[in-house]
Structure 1
């Protein structure tokens, strides 16, 4: 495969910027509520995308596809941002990244029942191991009742998995820019529910917080999601792209340490090791599976 036709650089770009998001979300949550931050992050992304839409004369989606973009906006941005930001309030960057790294497994599990992708017995075992790791994380951090942040992050991983499957569907018809753009627009429209709170938080927020929002909106949202959609458009199957999320715990932990000085606690090391072990086991099982190629669709 020629490098220019490969999904790898696009997937890798997304993972780098998403790893940054764990750190800057934690930093921004010092000044904004989880709901305000979600709205401001995607309002910033929408402004950038709106400028690109006019500059590049991007065509709007067809009416019959609007429901798919609404669901993509709800799962990938509105509901995901709420769950992710609430989870990040009480969970460190390294721990949250480990939990969100469950996304490839959940994506494959959903794909099994929606688009009939098969799972080998070894992959089913890997799913059990990964969720056991989440249980270890929960218990070591204080018990099942106290650690609601972990439950929110597991929900966020499930929502992102739904978004991944929708991106696979939408990029069969639309370009990566169109797919990301209209999904983000829909999600931002839903997030306007939190506009009053965002205005209130902005009044007391320091100047540095605007830098955090800019990084989250431009790089961790606009650039990252366009690259993610581009990766799905170029890849032969869903798991090839989503498996890139396996590396986010390592990148997010490193960035959290270097940028925010966050320590990596024992719960993250032990629980994370179990989860990563399950993810690697799943990846090994997938490598032993024969996945049929798909014909690359034409884009508008």
Structure 2
């Protein structure tokens, strides 16, 4: 039996991560019918933290985790406050207000926001392709948020769209600041989730969301914590380590929003809107233009 090459393994790991990410919008949609965004985040954070710590123990890196926890607790609280605490609260509010297919499509414009936020933070310069990609992506956002009624500019839910766009800003800032983080990626992520837990719990207590729970949404929250916040990160990280062609693995992410719409229609009972398909097409083309330009460079 032939051994799989590193690139083939990378593709398989990447596909696994993308497949898991594609189911998250459906899990969000189902869980938010029974839990508030804060409750969903609290459960998912706990599950993800248990998974990540277990993985570190399995790999024999517990002493390293404890060492970094003592040395970098300030940065761990800082990054944990951004992600998962603030980022997911904002993102889940968007999912709570918009159809999941619209929220997840808009959220995919974070890569464009990353390029623009890199200008003040990393002092990078924008290229012509970045402007073209941004124009196409945000036209797609406009088309989705107005349900195709662009000329009237009547937004289906302006607040929900604002939350979805704000989530892309927070995510972009997090990843740009993360480039200066010296902690190993798995240990850094674990410490972020550990430090975010008391913040989320305190917020849930202040808002009175620790009292009444609907058990029907718990399994979806557990799924999100285990797969969206935990296992998918491990698979994606492994794919990037194994591949000799990073762009080949990165391009797999284009499959996720398309699969996500299928799962939403099949398992969450959410009818596919034509405006979502058209807007998503513009967003994906814009992202492709941006990636293609980087590859050529």
TM-score (norm 2): 0.81
| CA–CA separation in structure 1 for the residues paired with 2:218 and 2:156 | 34
**Hey, what does 1:293 align to over in structure 2?**
none
The CA deviation at 1:153 is 1.1
**Hey, what does 1:73 align to over in structure 2?**
80
Quickly say closer, same or farther: Cα 1:237–1:118, change in 2 above 3 A: farther
The CA deviation at 1:12 is 3.7
Matches within 5 A, 1:213-252: 213-230=221-238, 244-252=252-260
1:230-258, Cα deviation, whole Å (9 max, x unpaired): 56667899988766543322021111122
| CA–CA separation in structure 2 for the residues paired with 1:188 and 1:242 | 30
* Alpha carbons 2:6, 2:242 under 8 Å: kept: no
1:130 paired with 2:137, answer yes
**Hey, what does 2:201 align to over in structure 1?**
192
1:85-106, Cα deviation, whole Å (9 max, x unpaired): 1111122232222111112222
| CA–CA separation in structure 2 for the residues paired with 1:237 and 1:82 | 34
Moved more, 94-103 or 60-69: 60-69
Matches within 5 A, 1:44-63: 44-55=47-58, 56-58=60-62, 59-60=64-65, 61=68
* Alpha carbons 1:6, 1:234 under 8 Å: kept: yes
1:272 paired with 2:280, answer yes
| CA–CA separation in structure 2 for the residues paired with 1:6 and 1:51 | 24
1:114-138, Cα deviation, whole Å (9 max, x unpaired): 3355542122221122112212222
Moved more, 7-16 or 22-31: 7-16
- Unpaired runs of at least 5, structure 2: none
1:140 paired with 2:147, answer yes
| CA–CA separation in structure 2 for the residues paired with 1:36 and 1:241 | 34
RMSD of the alignment, in Å?
A: 3.1
* Alpha carbons 1:49, 1:181 under 8 Å: kept: yes
**Hey, what does 1:155 align to over in structure 2?**
166
1:168-188, Cα deviation, whole Å (9 max, x unpaired): 443xx4433212211222222
TM-score (norm 1): 0.80
The CA deviation at 1:155 is 1.2
**1:82 aligned to which of 67, 74, 89:** 89
1:31 paired with 2:34, answer yes
Aligned residues: 283
1:164-210, Cα deviation, whole Å (9 max, x unpaired): 3344443xx443321221122222232112444443232x433xx23
Quickly say closer, same or farther: Cα 1:77–1:234, change in 2 above 3 A: farther
**1:102 aligned to which of 103, 109, 130:** 109
The CA deviation at 1:38 is 1.0
Moved more, 138-147 or 232-241: 232-241
- Unpaired runs of at least 5, structure 1: 290-300
* Alpha carbons 1:32, 1:201 under 8 Å: kept: no
The CA deviation at 1:64 is 5.6
* Alpha carbons 1:126, 1:279 under 8 Å: kept: yes
